[in-house]
Amino acid sequence: MLALAEELTSTERHPLFQNDAILKAVLTAPIAQAYSQRHQDERIYYPGQWTYLDESGQTQRLEVSIRVRGHFRREYCDKSPLLLNFKKSEVKGTLFAGQDKLKLVAPCKEHKRYQQYVILEYLAYKTFEILTDQSFSTRLVRLTYVDRDEKLDSWTDVAFVIEDDADLARRLGMRRLKVKSVRYDALDHPKTALVQLFQLMVANNDYSVIKGSDDEDCCHNVVALGYEDSELGRLPVPFDFDMSGLVHARYASPPSQIPIRDVRNRYFYGLCQPRNILDEAIAHVQSKREEIMALYRNTAELNEKLRSETIEYIEEYYELINDRQRVETEIVGRCRGKNLMDKMLQKTIGPT
């Protein structure tokens, strides 16, 4: 197993994700037509144009196709999430070199509250990036939408794009697993412990590191990565945090199996981990406290009131993991799969 202090050998991130500055861009496409397909199972791409300012301030134009994507938000939102589809041959030598398909996360209703939801979800991704390089890269975009058919008035939001699954796997020297489930003993447990502590930090239980939902591949709101030559060391990489207490979207609610009524209330529903692994993960999260706090303090796109509330919310999490008794009660005492953990330990070190 890999210790938390060790990072896997990784290749360089694509140019788009090597800078945290907000990218300015314009999307011109039949946007209203794309949105009209949000209730359809089969959705087509619509051709458009992506115009952006590069790092030298020069205007660049790329062809892009769009279609609505997602599950809950696709149905719920007036402005459903979009998938951007670039031509790899066209993006060579540009900021978008190496990009093909990019998920775009943007406010899905016309209310300033929904803009803040997007910023908070972006910050959840950035928080996990601080904890580990084995995470999705993201980039903020100040995006102007222009409906080519003029059925919608133009508008501008702050959105963000997310690194593609395949690029994440390539960067980490791994592969995307197309499986229905992952065995408990096949997980990279130090990294899984870190994922679960992060999910507790942002108060998100809308995920699974071992199985998918319905007919989806493993895992629910987690990408499962693995090595070509090993059935062990399965790495869970989380995404999609709009149901978390950190974001606190008005439509969010806890999973039915969690005994809380408000997503803002933290409840650990992760898998049990050997105590030395859990303690190491807690120490790692504690070591990143100031960097994480600085992230929230220095994000200008977060309004002042919400910034203060969110910093307090993260501080409450650190109070929890700094209290040994609360760790015993609220993490160790609530973890699932103790029998699986004991069996794994017996295989590793033999009966005690």
Report pLDDT for 3.
43
What is the rounded CA–CA span in Å between residue 90 and residue 99? 10
Assess contact for 83 and 51: CB atoms under 8 A.
no
* Total residues found in the chain within this entry: 352
User: Which residues have C-beta within 8 Å of that of residue 299, sequence separation ≥ 6?
Assistant: 119, 123, 307
Q: pLDDT tens digits for 267-301?
A: 999 999 999 999 999 999 999 999 999 999 999 99
User: Which residues have C-beta within 8 Å of that of residue 125, sequence separation ≥ 6?
Assistant: 135, 136, 138, 160, 162, 239, 241
163: nearest Cα among 11, 301, 6: 11
Assess contact for 244 and 228: CB atoms under 8 A.
no
Beta-strand (E) ranges in 92-165?
101-105, 138-147, 155-162
Q: pLDDT tens digits for 232-262?
A: 999 999 999 999 999 999 999 999 999 999 9
CA distances (Å), origin 153, targets 24, 52, 77, 144: 19, 20, 17, 11
pTM reported for the whole predicted model: 0.94
What is the rounded CA–CA span in Å between residue 209 and residue 223? 8
Report pLDDT for 42.
87
Assess contact for 170 and 12: CB atoms under 8 A.
no
DSSP string, 126-138: HHHHHH-SSS--E
Report pLDDT for 80.
87
Report pLDDT for 135.
98
Assess contact for 196 and 268: CB atoms under 8 A.
yes
- The residues spanned by each domain of the chain are 22-163, 174-349
Assess contact for 55 and 19: CB atoms under 8 A.
yes
Name residue 238's beta-bridge partners.
Answer: 222
List the chain pLDDT tens, one digit each, 352 residues: 334 434 334 578 999 999 999 999 999 999 999 999 988 888 999 999 999 999 899 999 999 999 999 777 878 888 889 999 999 899 999 999 999 999 999 998 888 999 999 999 999 999 999 999 999 999 999 999 999 999 999 999 999 999 999 999 999 999 999 999 999 999 999 999 999 999 999 999 999 999 987 778 899 999 999 998 899 999 999 999 999 999 999 999 999 999 999 999 999 999 999 999 999 999 999 999 999 999 999 999 999 999 999 999 999 999 999 999 999 999 999 999 999 998 888 876 665 4
Name residue 61's beta-bridge partners.
Answer: 51
Give kind and range of the element (H or E) at residue 33: helix 31-35
